[in-house]
Amino acid sequence: MSVEGGSAPLSVQDLTIGLRRPGGRSVAIVEDVSFDVDPGQRLGIVGESGSGKSLTLRAVAGLLPRGVEVLSGRVEFGGRDLLTMPAKDRRALMGPEIAMIFQEPMTALNPVMRVGDQIAEGPRRHLGLSAKEARELAVSMMARTGIPDPARRAKAYPHELSGGLRQRIMIAMAVSCGPRLLLCDEPTTALDVTVQLQVLKLLEKLCDDTGASLVFVTHDLAVVNQTCSELAVMYAGHIVEAGGVKDTFRQPRHPYTRALLESAPDFDHPERELIPIPGFAPNVADRPSGCPFAPRCGYVRDHCTEAVPPLEEVIPGRLAACFESDRLVEVLA
């Protein structure tokens, strides 16, 4: 992940998402989020529920829920701002350029449409294929995602398939038009752990094969470690730390990242005690003044509650939004 823009397929700049209230007052849920995703790069966005990670992803895909909108900022894809381009042009990108995989494979598939037809829908619309060609492509896509007996399964309805198969259908659907950017919203959360790994491996393989970039939203640190090369940690609508996955996990520079790592089990060190993060994430409507993590932070000093720490480069290749970032290293050492 690089800070400066450029040839990146995806460049998000100062994105603020929120609810616009009557009377001009608006409540920001995600504030000033910026990141770039280079070709072939895999970015994991982690955070607790309500941190704004999914909304950020949905804003990129243009799928914000009713009532929630982008208040300011830019989402550039291949140099064009997705937010200002005509809706028709944007829809033309959805599928062939950008594709999305959702969390719940049960509810994310149309229950009254055969899965093969659901996969074929995108290629028919975007690649100009005939119904027969699109159906054949759907079956070959299903074969590629490792679905056994794809020709027969293509005629199945979603409820007739297992969770793992349904998620493979979602993936086949997402990659059917050969997108350059794949957006994944917790694609493995609803799956069994054994199936999770298969699906992650499949996603990796497809990205390797096609050179597609990946943005992966999850709360599961192990999944990010497995799949992604870059990491952005979100807390209360802000990116609080960003950098390479391995580096950041080895030496977090934001107390929240560190707290997240300490609260998650580590199977390499099963004897390590898990430390929960005290308190709750702040309500977006009344954020504490200063650093939003200050009330739950173990390194808090007086000045933390006075000003919001900016997201700055603390060491080469690492951004953190913490006044006490350097102290974190001293304490660890």
For the stretch 203-228, what's the b/e string if a residue is b when 16 or more beta carbons lie within 10 angstroms of its beta carbon? beebbeeeebbbbbbbbbbebbebbb
Q: How many CB atoms lie within 10 A of CB 272?
A: 10
Q: Examine residue 62 and tell whether it contacts another protein (CB under 8 A).
A: yes
Counting residues that bind another protein (by CB under 8 A) gives 32
Structure tokens at 173: 């659907």
Nearer to another protein, 174 or 232 (CB): 174
Q: Site residues for another protein, window 88-107 (CB under 8 A)?
A: 91-95, 99-100, 102, 104, 107
Q: Examine residue 200 and tell whether it contacts another protein (CB under 8 A).
A: no
Q: How many CA atoms lie within 13 A of 22 on its CB side?
A: 0
The distance of closest approach from Cβ of residue 63 to another protein in the complex, given in angstroms and rounded to an integer, is 5
| Cα 145 to Cα 148: distance, rounded to the nearest angstrom | 9
Structure tokens at 223: 């999944």
Residue type, 57: L
Q: Examine residue 122 and tell whether it contacts another protein (CB under 8 A).
A: yes
| Cα 67 to Cα 169: distance, rounded to the nearest angstrom | 30
Contacts of 78 (CB under 8 A, 6+ apart): 9, 97, 180
Pick the binder of another protein from 48, 69, 121, 247 (CB under 8 A).
Answer: 121
Q: Examine residue 132 and tell whether it contacts another protein (CB under 8 A).
A: no
The distance of closest approach from Cβ of residue 12 to another protein in the complex, given in angstroms and rounded to an integer, is 18
Q: Site residues for another protein, window 160-179 (CB under 8 A)?
A: 170, 173-174
142 neighbors 166 (Cβ within 8 angstroms): no
Q: Examine residue 316 and tell whether it contacts another protein (CB under 8 A).
A: no
Q: Examine residue 83 and tell whether it contacts another protein (CB under 8 A).
A: no
Nearer to another protein, 109 or 233 (CB): 109
Nearer to another protein, 56 or 118 (CB): 118
In the complex, the residues that contact another protein under the rule CB under 8 A are 61-63, 65-66, 87, 91-95, 99-100, 102, 104, 107-113, 118, 121-122, 125-126, 157, 159, 170, 173-174
